């Protein structure tokens, strides 16, 4: 379960921003800290919702797990 965990990305990673009408690709930079706010969902284990830089984005769960290191404690902010 990734929901509620924070990760620092080791590589620039693609995410998707949707506003209900359009989908736009957003590159989250290397070193960014992202927080998983939901997912993966039972009907789609591939995608999770994250918060980065006040934006809610969708990212592949596999990318979070392979390109990120989990951040524990409160010393780093998302």
Please give the domain boundaries of the chain with CATH numbers for all domains.
Answer: 6-71 (2.30.30)
Burial 12-35 (b: 16+ CB within 10 A, else e): ebebeeeeeeeeeeeebeeebbbb
- Please report the sign of the dihedral spanned by the C-alpha atoms of residue 36, residue 54, residue 58, residue 65: negative
- Please state, in angstroms and rounded to a whole number, the distance separating the CA atoms of residues 73 and 40: 23
CB 10 within 8 A of CB 75: no
Res. 11: pLDDT tops 60: yes
Res. 1: pLDDT tops 80: no
Q: pLDDT-derived band of residue 70, with 50, 70 and 90 as boundaries?
A: very high
Residue 20 has what pLDDT? 80
Residues 6+ apart with CB under 8 A from 22: none
pLDDT tens-digit series, residues 13-60: 999 998 888 999 999 999 999 999 998 877 778 999 999 999 999 999
């Amino acid at each position: 379960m990734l929901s509620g965990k924070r990760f620092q990305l080791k590589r620039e990673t693609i995410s998707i921003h949707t506003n209900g009408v359009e989908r736009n690709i957003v590159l989250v930079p290397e070193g960014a800290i992202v927080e998983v706010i939901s997912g993966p969902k039972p009907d789609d284990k591939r995608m999770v919702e994250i918060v980065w830089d006040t934006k809610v984005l969708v990212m592949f769960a596999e990318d979070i797990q392979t390109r990120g290191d989990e951040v524990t404690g409160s010393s780093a902010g998302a």
